[in-house]
Chain A
Amino acid sequence: MADAPLLSARNVKVHLRVHGRIVKAVDGVDLDVLPGQCVGIVGESGSGKSTLGRAMTRLLPNVEIAELSGSVRFGTEDVLAMSPDRMRALRRHRGLSMVFQDPLSYLNPTLRVDRQMAEALRHLLDRRAVQDKSAELLLQVGLSDTARILRLYPHELSGGMRQRVLIAMALAPDPQILVADEPTTALDATVQYQVIQTLRRLNKERNLAMLIITHDLGMVAELCDQVYVMNGGKVVEAADVFTLFDAPKHEYTASLLAAARRLHQTKALGEPV
């Protein structure tokens, strides 16, 4: 497979100003996401994984950046050097979309779901088309009762429904890649599982490339094809998911895996009888 990467980072450095000190949050990272691939960035808090995700999608607040260097390419374009207009265009149509950890704070509490979906579907002019597309997107993320859900306010949705509505909105511009930062952290286990199912289906059925930022090796094992392990702003190991879990090369990866296995005892409990 000699696909050109869809999204790629080369020697990306993000140094942030935190309380007057310079923190090397991301310190020279290379990363590739191929079309249709699901890539995971794993790390613990402070590893720089979220900062990297935000740098690659140009969502870092400018005030804190002390240094931002290296290159991020989306297709053939340089994301970091792109004009704000071009960036906006990419977010609105066939570009990159993002999903975050806390769905409630990314939904407008005063608007019903249909209005917010319509906002994400501004490129469709016809009201009828917007309605159809909204329903279609909700179906795609596994919310079948679309007519009812579209009439609800965010607080009337359960946590899992909110996150899936947010994913549906992220899908509205028909992106080529979805970047998800801890998309299931705030959710219950059964709901987390539904969201993971949804993401996997989108990955397989729409051939949607994904960059999943997470601390949870269980989620990586379920979802990702390729994994980057980050620690202290650097990628310490990058490998195919099976290789990484079976034969970790770096000490840090091995210690993460050991901790995960201590918690996720790998005997498969509750096999369906």
Chain B
Amino acid sequence: MSVESNARILGRTQKSASLDLLRRLFRTRFGGIGVTILLVVTFLSVFAPLFAKTGPLDLGSPTMTPPSWAYPLGTDSLGRDLRSVMLYAGRSSLTIGFCAAAMAFLIGGTVGALAGYFRGPVAAVLLRITDLFHTLPAIIIVLFSVSLLGANFWLQVAAVALAIWPIEARIVYGQFIALSEREFVLAARAAGLSTFHIIFREIMPNALPTVIVQVSLDASTAILIEAGLGFLGLSDPTVPSWGEMLNRGQEFLELAWWMSVFPGAAICVAVLGFNLFADGVTEMFNPRASVAPPKLDG
């Protein structure tokens, strides 16, 4: 068999890698539940108009009705259908979760990658800045920016991202430090491959599983911070969110439990979804993390 005939058989086959990943995620203990929760919650929020009969700020329903056939989640003190408010509030809570986590990943990932790859003085400066942000409690940063700049929705997303990026930077930095000493990275350097190739083709793909887990946990943290802000009455009053609903509900806790219980439950479910997803990803890429190490010979 000649080398040429072999070469012809070496057609590049692309398997559907993402589908395969999803299948593996569903085979973990909690990953499937996590993904399902996230998909359902996202679907409901994105297609909120399909499920809501009224707009989130439309008044006109009877006030303070308990859950019933007409109003499955009840109505609030202003006469809004809580089903509509919940669905639209989900949009802002999830947007904060996804966007703040994504921004944190961009800032933290870049800082961590640069510090981890270049080391030396670059790393020293970047890491001290990271530490500075890390030592400030997240809620303080957010409260400070909100009171300084007002309760604008996107400002709030940025403030939450600003509060959580240092964790991301630390994680990425650690991964880069560990991976850039691995032999396959040394081999790539010895082969003269470019810095760009080494960072994005050799190191990043191997850091990704850990990073995805952190991004997912960040998203749940962001949702919780937002809920806290909303509860304290510091979120954008024109944009309903689960936290803001909680704030409104607390006044009527004894009269209308449904005003607090449903948004509270929604926050729990969304946070649980992100955390289970993170667990699933961890288990998928590192099956030994969750059970006692199986050991054949070695």
Contacts and interface: CB of A to CB of B under 8 A. Distances in A.
Contact of B298 (A18, A23, A45): A45
Nearest to B293: A61
Nearest to A185: B298
A51 B293 contact: no
B292 A51 contact: no
Contact of B297 (A18, A46, A63): A46
Contacts of B297: 43-51
A153 B239 CA distance: 59
A64 B293 CA distance: 9
A23 B295 CA distance: 12
Interface string B271-298: 0000000000000000100011111111
Contacts of B292: 61, 63-64
Contacts of A18: 294, 296
A23 to B, nearest CB: 7
B15 to A, nearest CB: 19
Interface string A13-56: 00010111001010000000000000000011111111100100
Interface residues of A, number: 19
Interface of A: 16, 18-20, 23, 25, 43-51, 54, 61, 63-64
Contact of A25 (B27, B291, B296): B296
Nearest to A61: B292
A43 B296 CA distance: 12
A61 B292 CA distance: 7
A43 B298 CA distance: 11
B296 A19 contact: no
B290 to A, nearest CB: 10
A18 B296 CA distance: 9
B296 A48 contact: yes
24 contacts: A16-B294, A16-B296, A18-B294, A20-B27, A23-B296, A43-B297, A44-B297, A45-B296, A45-B297, A45-B298, A46-B297, A47-B297, A48-B296, A48-B297, A49-B297, A50-B295, A50-B296, A54-B295, A61-B291, A61-B294, A63-B291, A64-B291, A64-B292, A64-B294
